[in-house]
Amino acid sequence: MNYVIVGNGVAGISAAEAIRQLDPGGRLTMIAAETFPPYCRPMISLLLEGAVTPEKLPIRPPSFYEQLQIQPILGDSVVSLDVPNRMMHTRQGRTVAFDRLLIATGADPNPIPAMKPGMKNVFFMRTEVQVRQMLDVLPQVRQALVLGGGLVGFKAAYALLHRGLQATMLIRSDYPLAMQVDDQAGKMILKELVGHGLEVKVGVDVTGFDGVEKVTRAHLSDGTDLPCDLVIVSKGVSPALSFVSGDQIKVNQGIVVDEYLATTAAGIFAAGDVAEARDITRGTCRINAIWPEAVDQGRLAGMNMAGRRVAYRGSLGRNVIRIFDLDVMTGGLVHPPAEPAYEVHSALDLRRRTYRKLVFHQDRLVGIIMVNAIDQGGILLSLIRSRMPLAIPREQMLSPAFNYRTLLR
Amino acid sequence: MKKVMVHPERCVGCMQCMAACATAHSQTKCLLTAIAETPLPKPRVHVGAGLYGEGFPNRCRHCDPAPCLLACLPGAISRHRDTDTVIINPDICINCASCAMACPFGVIRYHQDMTAAPGKTVAVKCDNCMARQRAGLNPACVEICKSGALTFEEPAAGLKRKTDEVARSVSVCAEGLPSAPGFALLNAVKKAQAGLSKM
Ligand SMILES: Cc1cc2nc3c(=O)[nH]c(=O)nc-3n(C[C@H](O)[C@H](O)[C@H](O)COP(=O)(O)OP(=O)(O)OC[C@H]3O[C@@H](n4cnc5c(N)ncnc54)[C@H](O)[C@@H]3O)c2cc1C
């Protein structure tokens, strides 16, 4: 069997390991644009923060490819996929044939119209290279600007604050992480960040940048200007699938996969941030672009590629973030539709600074938001994943004393 | 290979396992002196209360495949094959709490620990008392447990015992006889008390 994996992110490497476990003799090739050893992408914000050095990023040894007998093609990218002839073409002119293919190309940051080629010190934060470039210019930076209040924007701002830099964050919603949290938690997060010196402007966007070579000033949609010498653009990501033709493989937002991580083209699989699988709480296809899903999907895709049929139970959006003295965990449907079948229970304790919100759909838990006291959150998330009908009183689940024993008869 | 087994129906909620665990993971290994240590040693086993106040010694199940291991961002969690133990390397841990989201039993805690660099908060959980096992000792929680809620035995033997208990309970003469009668009574009392206090 001739396996090819595109992308050496965590989905790609998890798949490679699963394939090797089941098929020690098959031919396995990995094509990847990044040349750095397989690394922990979320940790690049710690690199920006100065909490870790680049040597701490890899999650597999440099001998990874050799140990698993993988033929690596690094620093090259796939530019076209020929489904009927089962081959791919790369930027450097290689032609790579496959029997079974995994597309694990992740996602690319969304550009904004104000970005101009050649304008220095305007960055995305997706790869270790991008953060290293930021670190190179950081000593000259006085005023940083972060565009977007999603997970990456938040992490960028947090890292800059830790460095003691002046940072301003522009967000469209009223508080950061609006996709992940509700009003109450969002306000607690905003307060914590502002309390630590972050300047947040809500409801504004950037319309243009000034600067001869380097950026010096941003023009905002409210007509004002803001001096800045570093900009981090974090306005979401889009699946990296430009080489995939929608006529040959079904693509919605991401590449649509079934419960075996198979695409609509025979022998071609997808996993990770590029894949759109069934979402457990919604019942429809959706990209949940998070690390643990990339691991799960990669592993299962690898098993299925190697011939072991293992079904994926679907994805669940979830996040945990530590913001100075605030811990926030969220998962599933936190903004439920206004239908009678959904029931929301919440408890706020301002003195202890805890907040907990549970969203139920009939007798099942489908969403959680927790601020502080997050230790037991995994139990709640596993109840969402298992879709277990719940008979215990709902106030018990809101209590900070909630623990595994509470669930036992 | 012997493993720690939990028998929740026998837990009286005395929390001695927690004290023993914290002591076993202290520098001085003695309760009296351990409480004066910095960082303060903390337990890896947690006795949680059920709906009626029944106890349950909640500890890491060392799952295979382990959800925490798969979810760990920096790759700090691994499996020690010889003792079938899931362990966290405090030097690699970044305290991101991804494992808190992954653990379906809620057994991971985040604090300073003598195994980590001073001042560093890390994820901490049961390590099956590997150090004690190497010295020929049983895990501390098992050693201290007087009610039989925690045992250290070959899984096959433990399973056999449970199977036999179930088999006995289905025989006609044994009808209604709980497998751990004293504990069942205790829990029934707790349940009744919880009911009364609500009235
Ligand atoms: C700053 C930051 C912080 C994050 N924090 C968290 C967090 O705390 N928790 C969490 O769950 N998630 C977090 N994430 C998201 C997480 O990193 C992703 O979900 C995860 O990395 C997805 O893995 P993947 O393997 O699908 O894709 P990726 O990691 O994106 O890997 C895909 C690889 O494929 C390569 N590639 C793309 N196109 C091609 C091509 N045509 N040819 C060859 N190679 C190609 C890319 O260069 C890349 O190396 C964070 C992300 C960022 C950027």
Mean pLDDT across the stretch B148-158?
93
Say whether both B147 and B196 belong to one domain: yes
Say yes or no for a CB contact (<8 Å) between B74 and A56: yes
Residue where one domain finishes, among candidates B102, B125, B148? B125
Say yes or no for a CB contact (<8 Å) between B56 and A42: no
Tokens of A299: 């592993």
Say whether both B48 and B139 belong to one domain: yes
Contacts of B94 in chain A (CB under 8 A): 43, 46, 51-52
Q: Are A87 and A292 in contact (CB under 8 A)?
A: no
Mean of the per-residue pLDDT values of chain B: 91
Percent pLDDT > 70 in chain B is 94
Of A229, A45, A47, the closest CA to residue A120 belongs to A229
State the CATH number of the domain containing residue B178.
3.30.70
Task: Give the one of B54, B58, B102 whose C-beta lies nearest to A404's C-beta.
Answer: B58
Cβ(A106) – ligand 1 distance below 6 Å? yes
List C-alpha distances in Å: B39 to B45, B100, B109, B118.
18, 22, 14, 8
Residue where one domain finishes, among candidates B125, B145, B169? B125
pLDDT of residue A151: 94
Q: How far apart are CA A160 and CA A130, in angstroms?
A: 15
Output DSSP code: residue A262: B
Is 70 exceeded by the pLDDT of residue B53?
yes
- pLDDT tens, N- to C-terminus, chain A (409 residues): 999 999 999 999 999 999 999 999 999 999 999 999 999 999 999 999 999 999 999 999 999 999 999 999 999 999 999 999 999 999 999 999 999 999 999 999 999 999 988 899 999 999 999 999 999 999 999 999 999 999 999 999 999 999 999 999 999 999 999 999 999 999 999 999 999 999 999 999 999 999 988 999 999 999 999 999 999 999 999 999 999 999 999 999 999 999 999 999 999 999 999 999 999 999 999 999 999 999 999 999 999 999 999 999 999 999 999 999 899 999 999 999 999 999 999 999 999 999 999 999 999 999 999 999 999 999 999 999 999 999 888 888 998 888 888 887 6
The total number of residues shown for chain A amounts to: 409
Q: How far apart are CA B169 and CA B147, in angstroms?
A: 21
Say yes or no for a CB contact (<8 Å) between A405 and B48: yes
Pocket mutation for ligand 1, best pick of A41, A59, A288 (most atoms within 8 Å of C-beta): A41
Contacts of B103 in chain A (CB under 8 A): 378-379
Q: How far apart are CA A262 and CA A277, in angstroms?
A: 10
Say whether both B177 and B153 belong to one domain: yes
B195 touches chain A (CB under 8 A): no
Q: Which long-range contacts (CB under 8 A, 24 or more apart) does A189-197 make?
A: A189/A323, A189/A326, A189/A328, A192/A323, A192/A324, A192/A325, A192/A326, A193/A157, A193/A158, A193/A161, A193/A169, A193/A323, A193/A324, A195/A324, A196/A161, A196/A324, A197/A161, A197/A166, A197/A167
Give me ligand 1 centre to Cα A377, in Å.
25
Say whether both B90 and B74 belong to one domain: yes
Indicate which residue's Cα is closest to atom 16 of ligand 1: A291
Best mutation target, A375, A380, A398, to test chain B (most B CBs within 10 A)? A375
Mean pLDDT across the stretch B140-169?
91
Least Cα separation, residue B106 to chain A (angstroms): 5
**How many CB atoms are closer than 10 A to CB A1?**
15
Residue where one domain finishes, among candidates B108, B125, B142? B125
Task: Give the one of B58, B102, B103 whose C-beta lies nearest to A403's C-beta.
Answer: B58
Say whether both B92 and B178 belong to one domain: no
Cβ(A330) – ligand 1 distance below 6 Å? no
State the CATH number of the domain containing residue B117.
3.30.70.20
Is 60 exceeded by the pLDDT of residue B199?
no
ipTM summary value:
0.94
pLDDT of residue B198: 61
Say yes or no for a CB contact (<8 Å) between A299 and B70: yes
Total tally of structural domains belonging to chain B = 2
The total number of residues shown for chain B amounts to: 199
Q: Are B21 and B58 in contact (CB under 8 A)?
A: no
pLDDT of residue B178: 65
Range of the domain at B190: 1-58+129-199
Q: Are A224 and A140 in contact (CB under 8 A)?
A: no
Say whether both B113 and B133 belong to one domain: no
Say whether both B84 and B96 belong to one domain: yes
- Give per-residue pLDDT as tens, B182-196: 777 787 787 777 777
Say whether both B18 and B31 belong to one domain: yes
Tokens of B95: 């305290």
Identity of residue A283: G
Pocket mutation for ligand 1, best pick of A31, A35, A291 (most atoms within 8 Å of C-beta): A291
Say whether both B194 and B109 belong to one domain: no
Alpha helices in A306-361 (DSSP H): none
pLDDT of residue A122: 97
Q: Are A366 and A332 in contact (CB under 8 A)?
A: yes
Least Cα separation, residue B125 to chain A (angstroms): 12
